Each structure stands twice: as C-alpha cells, then as structure tokens.
Amino acid sequence: MRNTWIIFRRELRSYFSSPLAYAVMAGFLLIAGFFFYAILTSFLNTALRSEMQAQYYRMAPPPINVNLMALRPFFHNLAVVLIFTVPLITMRLYAEEFRNGTIELLMTSPVRNWETVLGKALAAFVLYASLIAGTLVYAAILFLSGKPEPGQIITSYIGLLLLGGAFVAVGIFLSTLTENQIVAGFLTIILLLLFWVVGWADEFAGPGVGSVLAYVSLLSHFDEFAKGVIDLKDVVLYLSFIGFFLFLTHLSLESKRWRTR
C-alpha cells in the first residue's frame, strides 16, 4: 500500500498544482448554484401561489414538501451534470502518461499495476468528493431557511459518492485506451450517457431484457438514494461497477506491460 499512497499523493498534487482542479470545481459549483437557485425559486413561487389560493378560497393550504419539490430535482440535476464533469477529472490519468512517455517508467518500475490504478482512482475520487462537498453550502441554506429532512440529504450524498465512484472507474479505464486526453474524456461522456439512457429502453424491450437494461442504468439506481432510501442492491451494483471497471483498467495496463517487454 506504500506505493499506492505515493501514487495517490503525486496525482493529487498534480491536480491542485494546475488550473484544472480549480476550473472544474468553479464550473461545477457555478452550474450547481444555478440549478439550486432556479429550483428553489420555483419551489417558493409554487408555495406562495398555493398559500394565496388557500386564503382566497378560505381553505387550508395544501402541504408543500421541500424534499420532494426541491431537494430531489436538485440532486437529480447534479447527477446529470456529473456525467460531463467527471470525465474532465479522469481523462488525463493515463492518457497523459502515454503522451509524455512516462508510462514506460511505470511499466518497468517495481510498482504493480493495481497499485497505480488504486492510487490514481483514489486521487480522482478525492477531487470528486471535494466537488460534492462544495454543494453542502446549499444544504446549509435550506436548513437556515426551512426544515428539510436531514435523512434524505444524507442518503442523497451517499448516492452521489457511489455514483461518482462508478463514473471515476469508467473514466480511468477509458483513459488507458488512448494517449489523447480529449478523446478519453469524450469516450467517457459517451459511455456514461449510454449507461444513463439504457434504462429508458426497458419500455421498448421485452420484460426480461428490459429489466436487465433498467438494472444497469446507473442514474436510475440513484433515484432511491434521492428518495431517502438506501437499498442494498443499489449499493452492490455501484460497488460491483467500480470493481469491474478498475479490474478492466488493470487488464488494460497488463496487456500494455507485456507489449513493452
């Protein structure tokens, strides 16, 4: 694990010593802030109209649920934005090594492939978690101005971390397939979009195929977390997804190691 820790520190230092991390964080938080403002404004307008109608007809105002009408749409929008954000984090992990020629040093060094994979994946995940942590300010605003359910917020963030881990695993694998960072990022976006929209095909496919497609749709499993529910099958899916793509990354590097000998 010592080598993994060294790789992790090197990659994390590389992220924060360049403008990439700060640009990604600023862009993500800007977009997240826009969605938060738009959704919260829409929620407040709906609540105000309901209150005015209730007063006009002399009725009790209908119940307005901030978790259902504001929190869930906000977290779902974040999940979609991450499809385009995470590839910016992962696209350089191995593609840059191939482009600079430093991959040969890694291949011939005593560091094992799984140690570099874990070190790079952990560094990318820490940067991703930093993005997510920045959105906690929006949750704090809700607590200052209302009474949201903390349990649903906690499960939503757990879901975002698991979803992001799966996105990182996909991105790091595709980064081993090319030396062009732009190509690696583009391929990651395409594959993540595919894992999102594949769940829609269950309406057109047969019952058996449709259920399989719905199961492998990454964002459909996030819906349970956004509802405040932690289902074991959703956790298992995300962890299996992470393990599978990290294993593919290891195999991809092993094949390149053998070709360099």
Cα separation, 78 vs 32, in Å, equals 7
Least confident of 4-18, 86-100, 232-246, 247-261: 247-261
Say what the pLDDT of residue 202 is.
60
Q: What is the pLDDT of residues 151-190, one digit of tens each?
A: 888 999 999 999 999 999 999 999 998 888 999 999 999 9
Question: Is pLDDT at 261 greater than 60 in this prediction?
Answer: no
d(CA 76, CA 63): 22
Angle of helix 150-175 relative to helix 218-226, nearest 10 degrees, comes to 160
Question: 26-36: string of b/e by CB count within 10 Å (b at 16+)?
Answer: eebbeebeebb
Tell me how far apart the alpha carbons of residues 63 and 69 are, in angstroms, rounded to a whole number. 11
Rounded-to-integer distance, Cα 66 and Cα 148, Å: 6
205-244, pLDDT tens digit by residue?
556 665 666 677 788 888 889 888 888 888 999 999 999 9
Say what the pTM is: 0.88
- For residue 162, the one-letter residue type is L
